[in-house]
Structure formats: C-alpha cells, structure tokens
Amino acid sequence: DGGITQSPKYLFRKEGQNVTLSCEQNLNHDAMYWYRQDPGQGLRLIYYSQIVNDFQKGDIAEGYSVSREKKESFPLTVTSAQKNPTAFYLCASSTVGDEQYFGPGTRLTVT
C-alpha cells in the first residue's frame, strides 16, 4: 500500500486536549504533507515539508503544529486552539514534482 502509514486509524479525544497523529514513510520521499478532509470540501492542506527540519504552513494551519526531525516522519499535533478538529486527516509524501502517495488516514473525533 505505498509504504506510507498513519496511526491510529481512529482517535477519540476530549475537547481541550492536544493530540498527535503519526505519519511514517519508507519511500525515501523528500516531501511530506498533511491534509484535512471534511465532507463536500475536498482536501485542504494543513502543513507541508520539503526537507528535514523545514516546513511551511498550508491553507488551514491555525490550531495545528508539525515537526520534521527525520525524513521518514512527519507528525501532526492538533492543539486545543483548533476550533473544529473533528475530521479525517490524510498524510501524503512525494518526490520532487511527482505523484503524492497518501496514507490510510486517521479519523479524529473530539467531543
């Protein structure tokens, strides 16, 4: 399935708690991405990273944070500042200007 994994598949949290979603790839891709998917809204870019120790905000970065300490890993933290965190989160990776491979996703529910 493309060598990109996300965990956990389902995650439940109480409002006010920070939560970290894992994304790992063994494809030797330089670039990694986080998207949020809501019904009827397509995929919206949260953060992306082109190289280790560097990342850029996407279109909806508020309330989220990331790190890129290793080429293989790009964890996403959903902070308590994110007003509506319940969503399906997808991680992806790619080489330069090429196809993005997606992970299986994490469905986060915050109550």
- Contact indicator for 45, 34 with CB cutoff of 8 Å: yes
CB 29 to another protein: min, Å: 10
94 binds another protein (CB under 8 A): yes
CB within 8 Å of 84: residues ≥ 6 apart: none
58 binds another protein (CB under 8 A): yes
71 binds another protein (CB under 8 A): no
Query: Closer to another protein at the Cβ: 50 or 79?
Result: 50
CB 15 to another protein: min, Å: 25
Sequence letter at residue 67: S
